[in-house]
Amino acid sequence: MWKTEHAASTSRYTHAAAEDSDGNILVVGGTKDAKTGLALAEKYSPQTDTWSAAADMPTARYGLGAATGSDGKIYAVGGRATDGTTL
């Protein structure tokens, strides 16, 4: 069954998401206008239905992937930079 929860503070698309070791969902990157990549990262807690800021990525990107490694870290990979180059 689907349920609507609180929206993130920043609207975006072509972002990536992965679950951290605490069960939170980290949403990274994306774009608002199909031209400008975002370095922004936000964390969603399903337990409290709240969003909080997380450390931004060092590079802005959209169309990327994200995965949680065996070390518990979340890795953002690939995508496109604001100038359109592939990362």
pLDDT, tens only, 36-68:
899 999 999 999 999 999 999 999 999 999 999
Please give the Cα distance from 77 to 21 (Å, whole number): 19
Cβ-based neighbour number of residue 4 at 10 Å: 5
Q: pLDDT band for position 1 (50/70/90)?
A: confident
pLDDT score for 2: 82
Nearest to 13 by CA among 46, 44, 36: 36
Residue 70 vs residues 8, 44, 62, 75, 78: alpha-carbon distances, Å: 27, 21, 24, 11, 19
Rg (CA), the chain: 13
Nearest to 36 by CA among 5, 14, 67, 58: 14
3-state secondary structure of 83: coil
